[in-house]
Structure 1
Amino acid sequence: MNLTWKLMQELKPTLLMVLVQVSYAFSSVLYKLAINDGMSLRVLSAYRLIFGAAFSFSLALIFERKKRPKLTWRVVLMSFFSGLFGGSLFLNLFFFALALVSTTYAYAVFNLVPATTFILSILCGYENLNARTAAGKTKVLGTMLGIGGSMLLSFFKGMKINIWNFHIKLLHKNDNSDQLGTRTPHANPKTEWLGVLSGIGSCLSFSIWLIIQAKVSKEYPSHHSATALMALMGAIQATAFALCVEKDWSQWNLGSSIRLLTALFSGTVTSGFVIIATTWCVRKRGPLYASVFNPLSLVLVAIAASMLLQEHLYVGSVIGAVLIVCGLYMVLWGKNKEMKTATHLVSLDNTKEFGVITDVVVVSTTENSDRENNSHDNCKSNIVTN
């Protein structure tokens, strides 16, 4: 029983991050359906963060009402930047990229997050390169393998694979979008380079958010309250931006069932549960650990799209998925190896300290015994003399 519980605790971060990627994949399908329905992505990002703030504040009141640490201006400032880089700025940059380039390219660029996070983590001191150790080499190779697999999955097709005997048709033809619902009628091929830059910008923004979360989780360890503050800051920023840019007030109407479902799911799950789980995993295993799972969502999106959105699976998709899983496993192995090494070193240090303390106690006890014996002998000699 104890062994099973210990195993579950060790697998908890991995299982949580897999659930996070499943949530991302499902929300991406909902995004495509909402775009196909004509919903503004700026408005969607605002609604997502508003619902996320309401959900997170509810959890904070339930679970952390009496054990919440003191809120300082430093924590508020970090929450502002967390809401900016992980909320409003990230979402609007990524959605802007979706409007100007294909979904495939946007998701492929976003899968550079592990590489950018790895570099930023090394620069900020959250990760050690340790290129001479087996664990360090494995982490670097696994990160590069995952990125290469995501690029292969995105850009190389090969032969078409028909593995499903059924297809669920959810998309309907819409003149305001292409088949995938990823381009707006205002997209200009001459400005597609802006979409590429926006995709890279969203990638950097998400990586910076992971680094900030590592700092927030140390100074303000209440995950629900920290998530609520982040979502609140992001909601204020995203709503202000949407009100300034979006002039069509009908876009704020959530009368369509798919719009309401997308806003509710992306708010409560993607900006609620996902942020809390990611923050917890960043605190336990570091920013790199949380970022290496990102390419997994691309695999899940490809599978879901082939079943629900009339997209096809290709040989390149399968090979890329295998490389992503292999790269993910290599990084996890490297992190696990480093954690075991660190635990072993800590235990050795504790053993050495205990040994020093034992020696001191033994020496002190011996000295006290010698003093007592000398004192006893002196007393005897005095009695004989008298």
Structure 2
Amino acid sequence: MSHIEGEAMKAEKMRTLKEWFTSSQVLCSMLLVQIFVSGMQLLSRVILVQGTFIGALIVYRHLVAAIFVAPFALYFERGRPKKFNCKVWFWLFINALMGMALAQGLFYYGLRDTSATYSINFLNLVPISTFITSIICRMENLKLQTWVGKAKSGGAILCLGGALVKLLKVFPLRYWGTMVSCILAAIQAAIVGSFLDASNAAWRIELNLQLIAVLYSGALATAATFCMLSWAITIKGPSYPPMFNPLSLIFVSFSEAILLGEPLGVGTLVGMVLIIMGLYLFLWGKKKDTQSLAQPNVADAEGSTMMGDGLSAAQSASTVVTSASPTDSVVLQVEKD
């Protein structure tokens, strides 16, 4: 084999690897989210058993998350209009309350009194509830008459929220939305927590595993996770990210069995098999659905470009343009009459 042929083969392999990485970014991001969440479950379980006050954990976690998201919001979304009207503030408040403060508070109480594996089972209700919510909001097509629709529905049922779906629709700036939601969640948790326990000892975080858990939960399990989830929703739709939640059950079950000595039963193993089957069916259906919509979307985009040349600057509307990177999605101002 000549030197030129070797270089050509090497270039072809690099091109194939680059194409695979580009097409798999969303999938890899969702897997990374589940790893972050699984680590958070184990760390939280340990410090909660040690007596950490749940209200303090929620407040500090979201303050750390807001601090880590702030640079991304200020840099990547600078110069873009931020219309914080009453509707936006309402959904930011609901997202912070239902998706962060209240949901995590209730989950932490269950996690403290049971185990990480048992508690995380209930997170598997999120995919089916989000799937139903996205259908009600007309952000997802069911298409039960097709094999694609049957696969998506069957995968959702086998895998067994919604506020983030609506928030992204009324306020597409995901970094600003995440940062403000984290601040609101911290305020909400601080108000409720002060009524439950206002002592200084309850709100003190020790410089040990507690601090590590707070930083990990805030930076990775909240800030990075919410940014990747909102980006994935703009690319794949609202029902795509939650379908990966059951994978955290697999990660937590094995990690808890190895690190904490929890038993790994036959029922858990059978559940893992069903989870993998359901996730595969959903991903297959979602891929087919995306392929069927790709060609019409291209035609619509070309038509919109041709029409844009003759439009006046009297009015404008924001159109979200997705990209292959969570930091490169932009909002174009499309001028229209």
Same fold flag (TM > 0.5): yes
CA distance in 1, matches of 2:189, 2:280: 36
RMSD, matched Cα = 2.4
**Partner of 1:43 in structure 2?**
56
Give, in angstroms, the shift of residue 79 of structure 1: 1.9
Give, in angstroms, the shift of residue 313 of structure 1: 2.2
- The residue type paired with residue 127 of structure 2 is P
**Partner of 1:68 in structure 2?**
80
Check if 1:83 corresponds to 2:111: no
The 1:302–1:345 alpha-carbon spacing in structure 2 relative to 1, beyond 3 Å, is same
**Partner of 2:204 in structure 1?**
253
Cα distance per residue 1:319-355 (max 9 Å; x no partner): 221221121111111111001001133457789x7xx
**Partner of 2:172 in structure 1?**
220
Check if 1:288 corresponds to 2:247: no
Cα distance per residue 1:204-248 (max 9 Å; x no partner): xxx2233234314xx333x32221111111111111111121233
- The residue type paired with residue 121 of structure 1 is S
Asked whether the equivalents of residues 139 and 238 of structure 2 are also in contact (C-alpha less than 8 Å), the reply is yes
Most deviating of 70-79 and 43-52: 70-79
Asked whether the equivalents of residues 56 and 224 of structure 1 are also in contact (C-alpha less than 8 Å), the reply is yes
Most deviating of 110-119 and 94-103: 94-103
**Partner of 2:162 in structure 1?**
208
Cα distance per residue 1:160-211 (max 9 Å; x no partner): xxxxxxxxxxxxxxxxxxxxxxxxxxxxxxxxxxxxxxxxxxxxxxx22332
CA distance in 1, matches of 2:276, 2:164: 22
The 1:63–1:109 alpha-carbon spacing in structure 2 relative to 1, beyond 3 Å, is same
State TM-score, norm by structure 1: 0.70
**Partner of 1:181 in structure 2?**
none
Check if 1:33 corresponds to 2:46: yes
- The residue type paired with residue 71 of structure 1 is K
What percentage of aligned pairs have identical amino acids?
Answer: 32
Asked whether the equivalents of residues 79 and 226 of structure 1 are also in contact (C-alpha less than 8 Å), the reply is yes
The 1:255–1:278 alpha-carbon spacing in structure 2 relative to 1, beyond 3 Å, is same
Asked whether the equivalents of residues 139 and 330 of structure 1 are also in contact (C-alpha less than 8 Å), the reply is yes
**Partner of 1:121 in structure 2?**
134
Q: Which has the higher contact order (CA 8 A, sep 6+)?
A: 1
CA distance in 2, matches of 1:45, 1:238: 6
**Partner of 1:55 in structure 2?**
68
Higher Rg = 1
State TM-score, norm by structure 2: 0.79
Asked whether the equivalents of residues 58 and 189 of structure 2 are also in contact (C-alpha less than 8 Å), the reply is yes
**Partner of 1:184 in structure 2?**
none
Most deviating of 117-126 and 2-11: 2-11
CA distance in 2, matches of 1:306, 1:142: 27
* Runs of 5+ consecutive residues of structure 1 not aligned to the other structure: 148-206, 354-386
* Runs of 5+ consecutive residues of structure 2 not aligned to the other structure: 1-13, 304-337
Asked whether the equivalents of residues 83 and 231 of structure 1 are also in contact (C-alpha less than 8 Å), the reply is yes
